[in-house]
């Protein structure tokens, strides 16, 4: 049986550095940015040897993508080094760039191991939180935020979401790129929501903001390989908003608390102009 999520990452090889994908609607009339970022990472990874894993990707959303059109991914092989490989990807529609991605890949090598010590906070596990489908049910998402009082965190505002891609996916040591792309895909789901909680703490989901909201740029750093078809906790904090923009940062961790990725995203928060 075909794993439904993998079709979200699927791209067609047109040439050595050229790929084509299709993407679905996110906001009305626009492609979901996380899917374009994930497909761009897959395109970059297709041009990299199996000895190197994605360790970071930095994307810029340039134009709204049209879900009715295919997306062409043009990969520029910036550098092939012994330890690091760098790629730049342009996502194109109708000859115009809608998204740019810079991605870096690194061989696995020994080194020191550290992460910020875990707090004494107890986050409800995914099995204790009501869940539901997202993106037509192909991602299992369980929101924890409603159970967390921001006042208990010294005024910080966080959004916590458990997620997993319904399995089975290939083993992470067999296809680490698919799992990294899946994490990239879902990571675009949380940052704007954290800003919403900070700016409109009493608003209900789906309530009109009165703002024009869109992702401007999005970054993911992959610290350790992780299975996207097992529960991961997306923990995003609203950092700052002003001058029409807002920034959120966060981590993605396993149920054991091991941090596997970090993210940052800046979003447009524009007050509509009166006509």
Phi, psi of 38, deg, nearest 5 = -65, -45
- Buried-exposed string 36-68: b where 16+ CB fall within 10 A, e elsewhere: bbbbbbbbbbbbbeeebbbbbbbbbbeeebbbe
Query: Which residue carries 């290939």 as its tokens?
Result: 170
Kindly write down the DSSP assignment for every residue of 137-156, as one continuous string. TTEEEEE-GGG--GGGGTT-
Residue 114 to residues 111, 118, 146, 260: CA-CA distances in angstroms?
Answer: 10, 11, 30, 12
Encoding tokens for residue 24?
Answer: 């679905």
Q: Are 236 and 220 in contact (CB under 8 A)?
A: no
Record the tokens describing residue 44, joined without a space: 């970059």
39 SS3 class: helix
CA-based end-to-end distance of the chain: 52
Question: How is 65-83 classified by DSSP, letter by letter?
Answer: --TTS-EEEEEEEEEE-SS
Strands, E, within 6-134: which ranges?
11-15, 18-21, 52-61, 71-80, 84-93, 96-107, 132-134
Residues marked active site are found at 188, 215, 265
CA dist list (Å): 50 to 34, 46, 201: 24, 9, 45
């Amino acid at each position: 049986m075909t794993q439904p999520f993998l079709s979200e990452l699927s791209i067609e090889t047109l040439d050595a550095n050229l790929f084509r994908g299709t993407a679905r609607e996110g906001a009305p009339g626009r492609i979901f940015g996380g899917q374009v970022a994930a497909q761009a990472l897959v395109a970059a990874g297709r041009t990299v040897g199996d000895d190197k894993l994605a360790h970071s990707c930095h994307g810029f959303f340039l134009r709204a993508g049209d879900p009715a059109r295919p997306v062409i991914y043009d990969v520029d092989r910036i550098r092939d080094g012994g330890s690091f490989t760098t790629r730049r990807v342009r996502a194109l529609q109708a000859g115009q760039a809608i998204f740019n991605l810079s991605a870096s890949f690194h061989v696995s090598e020994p080194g020191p191991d550290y992460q910020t010590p875990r707090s004494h906070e107890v986050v409800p596990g995914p099995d204790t939180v009501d869940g539901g489908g997202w993106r037509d049910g192909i991602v299992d998402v369980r929101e924890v935020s409603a159970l967390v009082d921001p006042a208990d965190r010294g005024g910080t505002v966080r959004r916590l979401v458990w997620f997993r891609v319904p399995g089975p996916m290939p083993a992470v040591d067999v296809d680490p790129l698919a799992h990294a792309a899946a994490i990239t895909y879902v990571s675009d789901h949380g940052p704007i929501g954290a800003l919403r909680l900070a700016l409109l703490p009493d608003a209900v989901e789906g309530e009109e903001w009165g703002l024009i909201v869109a992702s401007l740029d999005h970054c993911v750093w992959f610290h350790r390989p992780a299975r996207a078809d097992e529960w991961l906790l997306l923990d995003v904090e609203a950092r700052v908003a002003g001058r029409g923009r807002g920034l959120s940062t966060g981590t993605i961790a396993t149920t054991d608390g091991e941090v596997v990725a970090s993210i940052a995203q800046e979003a447009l928060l524009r007050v509509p102009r009166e006509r």
